[in-house]
Amino acid sequence: MSVHPEAHAAAVAARAAHAQGKFWQMHDALFAAQNALGRETYERLARELDLDMERFHADLGTDRLGKAVLQARADAESLGVVGTPVFFVNGKRQRGLPSPDALATLVDRELDRARAVVRSEGVRPADVYDHLTRAGARRPVFDRGDAPDR
């Protein structure tokens, strides 16, 4: 698998920003600066995001965030995620970036499937996801606390 040489460090920087409530701002800034990633860029972006630089440096200097990034990578690889973009719909890995129409068709098809399972198999709505993902990926790549909602 080909990985950007700064992928790990950039992910640690994003997690350090997350510790200060600015994950998505750092994510977007890192993406925009992807051709110039490195320690100087991470620090510049952290200053631009008005992060507490002492805390940012302390977070970058610990093993805790680096280990979390390595665990997330291992989790992703266990689900067959080896690059981006990849996403899951009802536990089924979707590679590439579908057109909006193709994505809408896929989601509509899965919604129909979910409704049919409730109607014909008597599965409780709260149990539909577990039922539909028995043969697919059951574990998310990131825990809810790791990558906050936008």
> Each residue of 89-148: pLDDT tens digit?
887 777 777 888 888 888 899 899 999 999 999 899 888 888 888 755 555 444 434 444
The pair phi, psi for residue 47, each rounded to 5°, is: -65, -45
How high is the pLDDT of residue 58? 95
Q: Quick one: 115 and 133 in the same domain?
A: yes
Average pLDDT for the chain: 85
Q: Quick one: 106 and 126 in the same domain?
A: yes
Gap between the Cα atoms of 84 and 64, Å rounded: 25
* Range list of H helices, 5-149: 7-18, 23-32, 39-48, 53-60, 63-78, 100-121, 128-132
Of the CA atoms within 13 Å of residue 62, those in its CB half-sphere come to 12
Q: Quick one: 53 and 91 in the same domain?
A: no
Q: Quick one: 27 and 73 in the same domain?
A: yes
122 domain residue, yes or no:
yes
Number of structural domains (the chain) is 2
Containing domain of residue 12, as a range? 7-78
70 domain residue, yes or no:
yes
Q: Quick one: 114 and 72 in the same domain?
A: no
Q: Quick one: 128 and 71 in the same domain?
A: no
- pTM listed for this prediction: 0.69
Cross-strand pairs, 88: 93
- Which of 47, 78, 109 is the last residue in one of the domains? 78
**Among candidate residues 72, 66, 107, the one with its CA nearest the CA of residue 88:** 107
Q: What is the pLDDT of residues 59-95, one digit of tens each?
A: 998 899 999 999 988 988 888 887 777 888 887 777 7
Q: Assess contact for 43 and 14: CB atoms under 8 A.
A: no
1 domain residue, yes or no:
no
2 domain residue, yes or no:
no
Amino acid at site 113 = R
How high is the pLDDT of residue 2? 56
